[in-house]
Structure 1
Amino acid sequence: MTAYAIAHLRATTVNEDVLRYIETIQATLDPFGGRFLVHGAQAEVVEGPWTGTVVVVAFPDTAAARAWYASEAYQAILPLRTRHITGEVVIVDGVPDGYDARTTAAALRAEAGL
């Protein structure tokens, strides 16, 4: 099942470290099948507070996403970003083909006795 690395990053001033990070990150993703779905897009805020940008990278599965993040190649460039940009990064599983939210609602109803 596809997994995603999602980052919510705060705005920053572009500098040499950040540019080097952006220029080299793709090479760290390629061995793990990672591909950008969203990269640095400004979010259209329709609910709640939000600042910064969004990055979404798809991987073949959670193991590949975890292996990429822990890889020597990515860890070597990670400080180029973290020294200058704050934010949160999470790895999450996607949903299977044919997913229907009603199934989740039914399971939650059953668990809650509703």
Structure 2
Amino acid sequence: MKRWFNMLALDALMGGCFYLWRVTGLDGARNVLLLIGWPLAICFLLVGMLSDVKDTPRESALREVYGTLSNFVIVCAFAWFGDRWLAACWLIGFVLLRARLHAARMKEAA
């Protein structure tokens, strides 16, 4: 349950910052987005490339679908609003992490 709250809180924060930046024109919200987005994208890349995902607990299907859709929306929003490098880093890191998790599950199932 705690993971759900963390995911929803991060999505609400990023959605609120996107709204404040694009709709109301508050440029400080873009700085908050970049301050949140770049460290998360770098963490995705590092975890996707270097982590050992064998002991990662399997998530429920609903949480996996929500996480995938949420990350897809975030990547699309960053790309749409001009931060293409951030969107690319976020997407590559997320895909690497998902691929490692999938490979670990397939190896475990075999």
Shorter-chain TM-score tier: under 0.3
Higher fraction of helix: 2
Larger RCO, structures 1/2 (Cα 8 Å, 6+ apart): 1
Q: TM-score, normalised by structure 2?
A: 0.28
Decide which structure has the larger Cα Rg and report it.
1
